[in-house]
Amino acid sequence: MKSRRTLLVRTGHGSAGAASVPGLPELPAGAVADVMTGAADTAADTVVMDGLGPERPPRPLDPPDLPPPAPAEAPTAVLPAVPAPPAWPPAVPGPSCPEPPVGPPAAAPATPAFRPLFTDAPSLNWAGPGDSWTRAWAAQESAEGRPAQPPAPLPTPLPAPDHSGSAVEQPLTARDVELIRASLAVVEPVADRATAHFYALIFLHHPEVRALFPAAMDVQRDRLFRALLAAARSADDPAGLRVYLGALGRGHRRYGTLTGHYGPVGECLVQALARYAGGRWDAETELAWRRVYRLVSSIMIEAAEDAARTSPPWWQGEVVRHERRTRDVAVITVRPDQAYPYRAGQYTSVETPWWPRVWRHFSFASAPRPDGLLTFHVKAVQAGWVSNALVHRAAPGDVLRLGPAAGTMTVDHAAGASLLCLGGGTGIAPIRALVEEVAERGTPVRAVDVFYGARSAADLYELAGLDGLARRLPWLTVRPVLSGTGPAEGALTGELPEVVGRFGPWVGREAFLSGPPAMVRRGVGVLLRSGVPAERIRHDLVGDLAAG
């Protein structure tokens, strides 16, 4: 029996045009003017770094069951050229020892320039646009050889296109928002079952896409419902919703998401919500959800298409230095295969060759450098797939994959306000990057106070580097804070937020917080009581939402 193939139109990297969502049923016409205005390209509520939230694989010691590798195929695109090594390449130490010495790390011996490995291993085991797994979406065929049935359309027309060719967004009414929030309130107590049912529907009707998802789906299921909650809570804030959804759309490019995926996903989502919303689900509620999903998918597709015009869906980066600072913390330097734009205080998502399709977020630990190198601080957390691989297994020459930069914890240099920075554990990484960026801008009238917290003196692995900056920069003050027991010579003692509160008030400061989510939340409360208004407190709380 011949299979029926559905052709998907693709433009740029990872999506087709945003004019429509194939497969998603139509909505009634006659909507009023578009309420969604403005656009931004940063995430409002996103995860900052690995090590702050559990990665929670069901069997961390056993490798996941991965699909067999697809047969080699002729390349369809030319790989980007690998830039030449910088004039002064960084020192590349050998693999670090399991038990690093206590104290500042010794300088690594210089080594000859190395040859990049991209030409030897250009793709490793990646899944994404252009590979055989993603192309399977073009052949919508079931395992029995019968063509998969497309979703049944609603008997209503698509919104009429405007003169620019894009679909007119259907604004949400107050009644829509009320119905969506009411149905979510019913689904929330059984969110784990509802999201599991949603993914079961996708994999049942579209089994070829299972390979695009990570082996462990528990974190992925949590992300879905958190995204739904965030969208529902922001439904009456069009500008904030567009910022949030735009970041989601750009982040989904790294998974190989295409425009044609949104229609089937929307149908499965509606079916799952209908099953678990109980008595709160009726025809009016379903219509509200279809309207909000069309709006959500339109914004995400548009953001992905805009990003595809200026950047790839991911970058490949070669590890050029791997330095163990403590038993569980490593400082990793990566050279991307092409220019990588970002700001100090932002973060990126990282995928390793050992755990394909599992991404974790890490903050940049330095301001942008002339040689283009990127630095990350990684702490190996319990049952953390990516963090343990990067700390205990990665070595110079390994190739990682990086998503686009995201995050809102950046400095407004035009404001000229003094800064207050709280960094707990590896949360000191973006704080150091912010200090470097302020120093490069040359604003001597700005004072910067950094509180660096850890449980023990051995965990203050970046203190020597910060003290070195403070000796050169008269406007920088660094105060170490220890919350655990043990020697605390030269350090303050107590929980980091409470210690910061003792030095207040902090009226007139711009505040930046990075570290464990509990520390960030407590720190926000302390800063509010110390005179810092909410709009001047910047952080990127754990949520694993915008970068998806």
pLDDT score for 546 = 32
Block residue for tokens 């990049």: 116
pLDDT score for 433 = 97
232 has a pLDDT exceeding 90: no
Instruction: Return the higher-pLDDT residue of 226 and 373.
Output: 373
Least confident of 213-227, 263-277, 283-297, 464-478: 213-227
pLDDT score for 490 = 82
pLDDT score for 217 = 66
Mean pLDDT across 11-24:
40
The two tokens of residue 302 are 């548009």
Mean pLDDT across 195-224:
76
The two tokens of residue 430 are 């973006």
Q: How far apart are CA 403 and CA 343, in angstroms?
A: 14
The two tokens of residue 518 are 């509990």
Write b or e for each residue in 105-140: b if 16 or more Cβ atoms lie within 10 A of its Cβ, otherwise e: beeeeeeeeeebbbeeeebbebbbbbbebbbbbeeb
- Model confidence pLDDT, tens digit, residues 348-403: 999 999 988 888 999 999 999 999 999 999 999 988 889 999 999 999 999 999 99
pLDDT score for 51 = 37
Instruction: Return the higher-pLDDT residue of 250 and 34.
Output: 250
Least confident of 39-43, 67-71, 254-258, 404-408: 39-43
Q: How far apart are CA 504 and CA 490, in angstroms?
A: 20
pLDDT score for 402 = 94
pLDDT score for 119 = 38
Burial zone of 102 (CB within 10 Å; 0-12 exposed, 13-18 middle, 19+ buried): exposed
Q: Which residues contact 263 (CB under 8 A, 6 or more apart)?
A: 21, 22, 23, 24, 151
For the residues of 497-546, what is the DSSP string, one character each?
HHHHHHT---TT-EEEEES-HHHHHHHHHHHHHTT--GGGEE---S---T
Instruction: Return the higher-pLDDT residue of 221 and 526.
Output: 526
Residue 89 is which amino acid? Answer: P
Q: Determine contact, residues 428/378, Cβ cutoff 8 Å.
A: no
432 has a pLDDT exceeding 60: yes
Q: What is the 3-state secondary structure (H, E, C) of 190-226?
A: HHHHHHHHHHHHHHHHCHHHHHHCCCCCHHHHHHHHH
- Model confidence pLDDT, tens digit, residues 498-542: 999 999 899 999 999 999 999 999 999 999 999 999 999 999 874
pLDDT score for 84 = 44
Structural domains in the chain, sorted by start? 152-160+169-308 (1.10.490.10), 315-402 (2.40.30.10), 419-538 (3.40.50.80)
Q: How far apart are CA 86 and CA 67, in angstroms?
A: 38
- Model confidence pLDDT, tens digit, residues 441-464: 876 668 999 999 999 999 999 999
Q: Determine contact, residues 507/531, Cβ cutoff 8 Å.
A: yes
- Model confidence pLDDT, tens digit, residues 157-180: 333 333 333 334 556 788 988 999
Sign of CA dihedral 378, 525, 504, 535: positive
Mean pLDDT across the chain? 73
pLDDT band of residue 210 (cuts 50, 70, 90) is confident
Its pTM stands at 0.64
Nearest to 485 by CA among 508, 442, 456, 518: 456
Mean pLDDT across 1-17:
39
pLDDT band of residue 120 (cuts 50, 70, 90) is very low
- Give 415's DSSP letter: T
End-to-end CA separation in angstroms for the chain: 38
pLDDT score for 296 = 87
Least confident of 4-8, 25-29, 353-357, 472-476: 4-8
Q: How far apart are CA 139 and CA 131, in angstroms?
A: 14
> Can you give the length of the chain in residues?
548
Instruction: Return the higher-pLDDT residue of 403 and 154.
Output: 403
Describe the chain by its helix, strand, coil percentages, rounded to 5.
35, 15, 50
pLDDT score for 427 = 95
Instruction: Return the higher-pLDDT residue of 73 and 351.
Output: 351
pLDDT score for 123 = 38
Nearest to 403 by CA among 272, 527, 254: 254
